[in-house]
Structure 1
Amino acid sequence: MLVKSVFMELRSRLRSCNVYITTNVDFKKDCNLKISIQSNCIVLNYYDNDLKRYDSLSSIESLSDYSEEESDVTCVIPIQEFCFIIPNSMSCLKIEKNTVSFRILTEPKNGGNFYSEIISTSSISKEIKVDKLEVNFNAKEDMKIVCGNCSNVLSHGSLKFDRILELPTANLDMSEWFCHGHSHGSSTSHDDVLKPNNLDFLYRLTFFVVNNTILSEKANKFNSKRTIYHCNRCLAWLGVKNKDTVKFYNNDVKIHHNSNIKHIFTHKKPTQDVTIDDFIYTVESLTREFNLGLQYTMMCKIVLECTMSASTKQYLLIWVMDKELQVLRNDENSIKPDRVMLKSSFLTKILYKIELELNDEVETWLADPSAVSTDISKSMFSHGLNHLEQMSLKVPESFRYTNGYTVSYLKA
């Protein structure tokens, strides 16, 4: 089988398509390949080394002396279902190891041509679709907060929250949002205002904030001199403490409710890893919040901060390049040696970089009005970073890095 996988980034409005093809051929040794760009498909013809074409450039002209009938292996990639290609429009051809990448120009599928087309206003801007989280309990219901690792009870016995309130984005003036009293003098800082009453459950994204008076005396005493709130039994990282409040994260703590132990929040379309679900939901929600207002033309920058210890923070810088990029990939359910069928999906393309301390670049991002930031848990930081590393493998290594950032996708 010649083609191992196909990955295409189709940008309909730009009328271009970046093509990444992974093959089972080592092109350092064998470079006898002909790529034919046709209006409805891409055809790859591989020729045996006996042809003695070691100087082949592997372009459409490279083996023009040989016909398709002479090729040892032929593979067709139909694309007419998604767009039409302008023949002979291949550019930026690059071959490295077993990968082939290039760019082609496309024609609109619904009429017009490359130079003129009527675009409907409904397709100009697409809002990020974010599924709303479901809180797994109601006010006035008995529950206990437990450690997600060892099920150690963290709350002061059973408790009933009077109110369950969703916090607004941190970009708002929170002093104008709370309806309950907060006698903190003239201070209007975020930390002072964000103080729930004893039985208030305040949540945002995938974390929630509670008053530490509802937590067990053992857990509070164990964490009395700590900035990071740990489980007093297994020492697991659970959240961040700030004065009289504790911020817990969905993936690190659970609740004992109706004789079941479960996470605080449930995703509409969960996967097997709730930590990665929380990570993706956080990035998607921040991207959507950024797009509220008059910032549709700007690319969103996100700073995810993780408090590792009392004096150490790490930062994950995420630059959202394409919020809804159409991607064509080979359909694994219909693999044939001579034909690769494609399926379409929409992904978020990003650039990311990890910073292990607060340096000049992080400070620049935090001060940038086009950047949004939030805290995430230690497990979300590590699992999310591993997830982005896995997603980046979809791009050939030679295209995976740019200006110190790694190219990746939020989810596949």
Structure 2
Amino acid sequence: MKIENILIEHFPRLKCANFFILFDQNFADVSSVRVHLRSMEIFVHFDNTHSTTIDLELLNINIQINSLSLLIAKDNLISFRINTASSFREEILPINVATTDVDTMKRLKLNVCTDMEFSIVCDNCSGPLTNLLRFRRILELPSENMDSNDWFCHKPDVRLCNGGNGSSSHHHQQLFNATSLIPNENDLLYGNFFALIHRSHIVNIHINSKHRMLHCKRCLSHIGECVSESAVKFWNGNVKFIQNIDAKISNRLFHDSNSLFQNFLIIVDRLTYDYRMLGRQTLKLLFEANTVKGTTFLFIQTMARNLELYQMNKQSNLNRATMMRVDGIKCLFLSEENTDPTLVNFWQKDVNVISAYISIGMLDATVEHLHILSKYVPEQFRINNGFCLSYLSKGIIINK
């Protein structure tokens, strides 16, 4: 029996830490498990024959050895709380922190640029979904929580719209809707891991007339949505692009596309950053994803953003486990296909709720990840009014 992973929540101001230790076997397979505390180490003994040491030196946590409480051992999880010896006689708070990394994270980077010739293909079968594309402008859409009327830079070039004279303002207004930000034929507009293009470019696509969903005609995979009579939306995780100069190379439209869940975390950071810029400290996030069966919702209520969170280092051996710091958000979440409409309406009317649309693939991947990470928390502490406790973190790893 060995430790699969360890998660530690440290609350220095409360002078306590929560420990969650996951094992690769059920406790029914061993006769005894004992936990011994020292100031900088924790010893876990199995059947009096094997022990694993959890090294806390890198965490700078001094634990009080007689303060263990809330000990729970069930299935393959041990959890407990201990008090820590922390002092706040002197504390240094960072000021004027460089924002380079933050700003970089907030900007979405595309793998395509203006005047590049490329076509968009289905991620599942590589079937072509568009004609050969070449855009004069590639612009980011405003956040769904911002006023799009202020984004005047997205209006088409009047000279290009009117044969170079720019005299017909009526014609200009017909070609561009400042409220809906519909692209013209020469524009590619993009948002949180989706791209909007003019409908005239698409080929080999079936449009569901009832739900306005886009499906590849070759394999029937869901690839996007029909936004209006003149614009379609492609989800980054469902399509790829191929350059005309080298048809063998295919990439995602967006540069940071490691996984759907990591892209979701970037969206969360971007949305909360927008609301902080507006002077709000939001605690609730509401995500919607459209399917042929209807709309699926994901409710997330954040509990702790700047949490000192640690997990077992991947380089740890069987006898000694070292810890490393990971970034994460502690939260409550709820996602059901048949969501209570009363709850949806209540959240949608709450001014402190951030709302956004994502792809159904991203929503499913996020819910799966949240359910996996919820296994760290004992069942009696996990559920609250139908919501489940979990973590939003790309650093925490657990076997499915």
* TM-score for the superposition, normalised by structure 2: 0.80
1:347 to 318, 325, 328: 328
Counterpart residue number, 1:393:
375
CA RMSD of aligned residues (A): 3.4
Question: 8 Å contact 1:305–1:376 — kept in the other structure?
Answer: yes
Counterpart residue number, 1:175:
149
Correspondence 1:261-276 to 2 at 5 A: 261-267=250-256, 271=258, 274-276=259-261
Residue 328 of structure 1 aligns to which amino acid in structure 2? Y
Counterpart residue number, 1:14:
14
Correspondence 1:324-343 to 2 at 5 A: 324-337=306-319, 339-343=320-324
CA displacement, residues 257-308 of structure 1 (integer Å, 9 cap, x when unaligned): 13222211111xx54xx33333332233223333334334x5x311111111
Residue 253 of structure 2 aligns to which amino acid in structure 1? I
- Kindly tell me: are residues 225 and 81 of structure 1, through their superposed partners in 2, closer, same or farther at Cα, counting changes over 3 Å? closer
Residue 78 of structure 1 aligns to which amino acid in structure 2? D
**Higher mean C-alpha deviation, range 328-337 or range 370-379:** 328-337
Counterpart residue number, 1:150:
125
- Kindly tell me: are residues 375 and 266 of structure 1, through their superposed partners in 2, closer, same or farther at Cα, counting changes over 3 Å? same
1:236 to 189, 204, 221: 221
Correspondence 1:216-235 to 2 at 5 A: 216=203, 219=205, 227-235=212-220
- Kindly tell me: are residues 213 and 95 of structure 1, through their superposed partners in 2, closer, same or farther at Cα, counting changes over 3 Å? same
1:121 to 81, 93, 98: 93
Q: Secondary structure at the match of 2:27?
A: coil
Counterpart residue number, 1:379:
361
Question: 8 Å contact 1:317–1:355 — kept in the other structure?
Answer: no
Question: 8 Å contact 2:149–2:178 — kept in the other structure?
Answer: no
- Kindly tell me: are residues 255 and 97 of structure 1, through their superposed partners in 2, closer, same or farther at Cα, counting changes over 3 Å? closer
Q: Secondary structure at the match of 1:84?
A: coil
Question: 8 Å contact 2:236–2:253 — kept in the other structure?
Answer: yes
Cα distance in 2, alignment partners of residues 101 and 88 from structure 1: 16
Cα deviation for residue 38 of structure 1 reads 2.9
Question: 8 Å contact 2:2–2:318 — kept in the other structure?
Answer: no
Structure number, greater radius of gyration: 1
Q: Confirm or deny that 1:103 pairs with 2:81.
A: yes
- Kindly tell me: are residues 233 and 336 of structure 1, through their superposed partners in 2, closer, same or farther at Cα, counting changes over 3 Å? closer
Q: Secondary structure at the match of 2:58?
A: coil
1:78 to 50, 55, 73: 55
Q: Confirm or deny that 1:203 pairs with 2:181.
A: no
Question: 8 Å contact 2:199–2:232 — kept in the other structure?
Answer: yes
Cα distance in 2, alignment partners of residues 139 and 120 from structure 1: 47
Counterpart residue number, 1:87:
65
Residue 241 of structure 2 aligns to which amino acid in structure 1? I
Cα distance in 2, alignment partners of residues 361 and 169 from structure 1: 24
Cα deviation for residue 144 of structure 1 reads 1.4
Question: 8 Å contact 2:333–2:388 — kept in the other structure?
Answer: yes
Question: 8 Å contact 2:145–2:355 — kept in the other structure?
Answer: no
Q: How many residues are aligned here?
A: 369
CA displacement, residues 27-54 of structure 1 (integer Å, 9 cap, x when unaligned): 7984573x443322223456x6xxxxxx
CA displacement, residues 107-128 of structure 1 (integer Å, 9 cap, x when unaligned): 23xxxx2xx4333232899999
Residue 335 of structure 1 aligns to which amino acid in structure 2? N
Cα distance in 2, alignment partners of residues 229 and 31 from structure 1: 56
Cα distance in 1, alignment partners of residues 148 and 373 from structure 2: 36
Counterpart residue number, 1:247:
233
Question: 8 Å contact 1:355–1:362 — kept in the other structure?
Answer: no
Cα distance in 2, alignment partners of residues 178 and 39 from structure 1: 60
Cα distance in 2, alignment partners of residues 232 and 126 from structure 1: 48
- Kindly tell me: are residues 330 and 154 of structure 1, through their superposed partners in 2, closer, same or farther at Cα, counting changes over 3 Å? closer
Cα distance in 2, alignment partners of residues 10 and 304 from structure 1: 29
Cα deviation for residue 4 of structure 1 reads 4.9
Q: Secondary structure at the match of 1:343?
A: strand
Q: Confirm or deny that 1:139 pairs with 2:114.
A: yes
Q: Which stretches in structure 1 are left out of the alignment for 5+ residues? A: 49-70
CA displacement, residues 236-263 of structure 1 (integer Å, 9 cap, x when unaligned): 1111112221121101122121322221
Cα deviation for residue 191 of structure 1 reads 9.1
2:342 to 355, 360, 363: 360
Counterpart residue number, 1:301:
284
* TM-score for the superposition, normalised by structure 1: 0.78
Cα distance in 2, alignment partners of residues 383 and 3 from structure 1: 26
Question: 8 Å contact 1:302–1:317 — kept in the other structure?
Answer: yes
Cα distance in 2, alignment partners of residues 45 and 263 from structure 1: 48
Cα distance in 1, alignment partners of residues 82 and 70 from structure 2: 9
Question: 8 Å contact 1:2–1:25 — kept in the other structure?
Answer: no
Q: Secondary structure at the match of 1:342?
A: strand
- Kindly tell me: are residues 223 and 346 of structure 1, through their superposed partners in 2, closer, same or farther at Cα, counting changes over 3 Å? closer
**Higher mean C-alpha deviation, range 355-364 or range 393-402:** 393-402
